[in-house]
Structure 1
Amino acid sequence: MANFDWHAERSDLSGIALLDRAPESEGIDLKAVRLYRLGQLRKEMAKRGVGAVILSDPINIRYATGTRNMQVFSMRNAPSRYLLVTEAKTILFEFTGCLHLADGYETVDEVRPAMTASFVAAGPEIAERERKWAREMGDLIASLVGKGAIVGMERMNAGTAIAMKEEGFTIVDAQEPVEMARAIKSDEEMKCVRASLRATEVGVHKLRNALRPGLTENELWSVLHKSVIEQNGDYCETRLLNAGERTNPWFQETANHVIGENELVALDTDVVGCHGYYSDFSRTFHAGPGKPTDTQRALYQTAVEQVYHNMGILKAGMSFRDYADRAWDIPAKYYANRYYLSSHGCGMTGEYPYLYHHGDFPDAGYDGVIEAGMTICVESYIGEEGGREGVKLEQQVLVTDSGIELLSEFPFEESLMDSGFDAPFPLPKI
Structure 2
Amino acid sequence: MSEFGLMGVDWEERVNFDRMRRERLQKAQAAMEKSGLDALFVFALEDVRYLTGFRSHLGPVTILGLAAAVLPRGGDPILCTLDIVHARQRMPWLHPDNILGRPFIRTEGGTRKWAEEIKGKIGKLAEGKIGVDLLSFGLSQWLPKCFPKAQFVDGKEVLSQAKVIKTKDEIECQKIVTMITEAGFQALLDDLKPGVKECELLAVAWQKFTELGSEWTQCANIVCSGPYTAPYRRFTSDRVIREGDLVIVDIGACYNGYWGDFTRTFLCGNVRPTPEQIDLHQECYNTLFNACAEAVVGKTNGDIGKHLNNPKTNPNSDDLSGGHGAGVNPWEPPWVANLTPDAIVPLQPGMLFSIEPYAGKPGVGGIRLENQVFVGEKEPDIITPLSFDERLLRDVHPLDRTTGRKIRFPK
TM-score (normalised: structure 2):
0.87
- In the other structure, the counterpart of 1:376 is 353
Instruction: From the superposition, tell whether residues 277 and 133 of structure 1 become closer, same or farther in structure 2 (CA, over 3 Å).
Output: same
CA displacement at 1:114 relative to structure 2: 1.4
8 Å Cα contact 1:65/1:108 also seen in 2: no
- In the other structure, the counterpart of 1:46 is 33
Correspondences of 1:74-113 after superposition (within 5 Å): 76-86=62-72, 87-96=74-83, 98-100=85-87, 103-106=90-93, 110-113=98-101
Instruction: From the superposition, tell whether residues 387 and 182 of structure 1 become closer, same or farther in structure 2 (CA, over 3 Å).
Output: farther
**Which of these residues, 106, 110, 114, is aligned with residue 102 of structure 2?**
114
8 Å Cα contact 2:301/2:336 also seen in 1: yes
- In the other structure, the counterpart of 1:261 is 243
CA displacement at 1:285 relative to structure 2: 1.0
Instruction: From the superposition, tell whether residues 204 and 397 of structure 1 become closer, same or farther in structure 2 (CA, over 3 Å).
Output: same
The two structures, once aligned, show a CA RMSD in angstroms of 2.8
Between the aligned residues of both structures, percent identity stands at 22
Matched, 1:152 2:167: no
**Which of these residues, 403, 407, 413, is aligned with residue 389 of structure 2?**
413
- In the other structure, the counterpart of 1:60 is 47
8 Å Cα contact 1:50/1:150 also seen in 2: yes
* Residues 62-104 of structure 1: per-residue CA shift (max 9 Å, x gap): 222222020227x632212111112311111111564436623
Please state which structure has a larger fraction of its residues in helix: 1
SS at match of 2:20: helix
CA displacement at 1:278 relative to structure 2: 1.3
- In the other structure, the counterpart of 1:393 is 369
In 1, Cα distance between the equivalents of 2:30 and 2:278?
A: 48
Instruction: From the superposition, tell whether residues 305 and 102 of structure 1 become closer, same or farther in structure 2 (CA, over 3 Å).
Output: farther
* Residues 186-208 of structure 1: per-residue CA shift (max 9 Å, x gap): 12221111111111111110011
- In the other structure, the counterpart of 2:379 is 403
* Residues 227-278 of structure 1: per-residue CA shift (max 9 Å, x gap): 112211122232221001111122431111111111010011243x112211
CA displacement at 1:305 relative to structure 2: 0.6
- In the other structure, the counterpart of 1:13 is none
Q: Which is further off, 201-210 or 89-98?
A: 89-98
Matched, 1:345 2:319: no
In 1, Cα distance between the equivalents of 2:251 and 2:209?
A: 10
- In the other structure, the counterpart of 1:9 is none
Q: Which is further off, 107-116 or 63-72?
A: 107-116
**Which of these residues, 205, 208, 214, is aligned with residue 186 of structure 2?**
205
CA displacement at 1:26 relative to structure 2: 6.8
8 Å Cα contact 2:263/2:371 also seen in 1: yes
SS at match of 2:343: coil
- In the other structure, the counterpart of 2:157 is 176
SS at match of 1:176: helix
In 1, Cα distance between the equivalents of 2:334 and 2:142?
A: 32
In 2, Cα distance between the equivalents of 1:137 and 1:254?
A: 43
In 1, Cα distance between the equivalents of 2:301 and 2:67?
A: 35
8 Å Cα contact 1:130/1:159 also seen in 2: no
SS at match of 1:371: coil
In 1, Cα distance between the equivalents of 2:208 and 2:42?
A: 30
TM-score (normalised: structure 1):
0.84
In 1, Cα distance between the equivalents of 2:117 and 2:100?
A: 12
Give ranges in structure 2 of 5+ residues lacking alignment.
407-411
For 2:131, give the aligned amino acid: G
8 Å Cα contact 1:395/1:406 also seen in 2: yes
Instruction: From the superposition, tell whether residues 33 and 46 of structure 1 become closer, same or farther in structure 2 (CA, over 3 Å).
Output: same
SS at match of 2:71: strand
* Residues 8-54 of structure 1: per-residue CA shift (max 9 Å, x gap): xxxxxxxxxxx98599x972211111111111111111111112112
Instruction: From the superposition, tell whether residues 323 and 100 of structure 1 become closer, same or farther in structure 2 (CA, over 3 Å).
Output: closer
Correspondences of 1:220-231 after superposition (within 5 Å): 220-231=201-212
In 2, Cα distance between the equivalents of 1:282 and 1:226?
A: 18
Matched, 1:311 2:292: yes
Give ranges in structure 1 of 5+ residues lacking alignment.
5-18, 119-125
- In the other structure, the counterpart of 1:292 is 273
- In the other structure, the counterpart of 2:21 is 34
Instruction: From the superposition, tell whether residues 205 and 98 of structure 1 become closer, same or farther in structure 2 (CA, over 3 Å).
Output: farther
SS at match of 1:306: helix
SS at match of 1:318: coil
8 Å Cα contact 1:161/1:171 also seen in 2: no
* Residues 339-371 of structure 1: per-residue CA shift (max 9 Å, x gap): 252x32121212110012xxx445x87221111
In 1, Cα distance between the equivalents of 2:83 and 2:187?
A: 38
8 Å Cα contact 2:308/2:314 also seen in 1: no
8 Å Cα contact 2:265/2:368 also seen in 1: yes
8 Å Cα contact 2:251/2:261 also seen in 1: yes
Instruction: From the superposition, tell whether residues 324 and 284 of structure 1 become closer, same or farther in structure 2 (CA, over 3 Å).
Output: closer
CA displacement at 1:215 relative to structure 2: 1.3
SS at match of 1:334: coil
In 1, Cα distance between the equivalents of 2:354 and 2:301?
A: 14
**Which of these residues, 262, 265, 280, is aligned with residue 261 of structure 2?**
280
